[in-house]
Amino acid sequence: MSRRVLVLEDESSIRGFIVINLTRAGYEVEEAESGEEALEKLQRHPDICVALLDIMLPGIDGFEVCRRIRATNTNIGIIMLTARSQEMDKVTGLMTGADDYVTKPFSPAELTARVDALFRRAGGAPPEQVGEIVQAPFLLNLRNRTLEKNGQKVKLTQVEYSIMKMFMENPGKALSREEILDTVWGRDYFGEVKIVDVNIRRLRLKIEDNPQNPTFINTVWGFGYKWEF
């Protein structure tokens, strides 16, 4: 599988730092300093497996690049890079389709670990078991890593698919946020458990009849979530 990564960052010193460390880690890096250039690179290199997107950019910002990628590609891993610590930046990035975020300044080890985790999830890991999980109205195809609801395909990112798989393999069981984080993001994940809540919110928007009053993904207050069907 391709180990090609896109780095969208308009500050050349930061971009250079990221490129050097990812290259050392064995990745082939495509660089972009504007949103427009990033989208052009993605078209030219469809084998890009992970994209690192700076948020604050002139012209098309990182949020918009993320939205446009997700409109056509659910497999690519997306990490938002932000210099700001505001919670809304992180939430907005995740709700537009990102899988993870890293707040500057970050260490080379942290950045590489995040990219490694997404690379494995985007297809660098061994194939999963074949078969289907059917829990009406849902059908999860383990071979194709796809979800259908009432026969209609639901577009999921790789993270969302992994969460759905965990839920459908554990119906009626209360799963803690930490359990979900360990299973989906990996035990070596550096980030905050809050990322689970944002991804659940995004998943509810896609699968629930009424996301404000969910019936499939139920919150277990102070603990985590439970899958009911």
Burial of 42 (0-12, 13-18, 19+ CB in 10 A): buried
Rg, Å, the chain Cα set? 17
Provide the pLDDT for residue 166. 96
Distance CA 229, CA 223 (A): 20
In which residue are the tokens 């395909």 written? 153
pTM comes to 0.74
Provide the pLDDT for residue 126. 45
Render 134-192 in DSSP notation, one character per residue: EETTEEEETTTTEEEETTEEE---HHHHHHHHHHHHSTT-EEEHHHHHHHHH-TT--S-
Provide the pLDDT for residue 5. 96
Question: Quick one: which of 155, 17, 125 has its CA closest to 81?
Answer: 17
Which residues of the chain have a pLDDT value below 50?
125-128
Provide the pLDDT for residue 205. 96
Distance CA 49, CA 68 (A): 16
Provide the pLDDT for residue 208. 97
User: If DSSP codes are grouped into helix, strand and coil, which group holds residue 85?
Assistant: coil
Distances (CA, A) of 41 to 44, 65, 129: 5, 12, 33
Phi, psi at 165, each rounded to 5°: -60, -45
pLDDT in tens, 170-220: 999 999 999 999 999 888 787 788 899 999 999 999 999 999 999 999 999
**148-182 b/e with 16+ CB inside 10 Å = b?**
ebeeeebebbbbbbbbbbbbbeeeeeebebebbbe
Which helix (H) or strand (E) segment holds residue 16: the answer is helix 12-24
Distance CA 10, CA 28 (A): 19
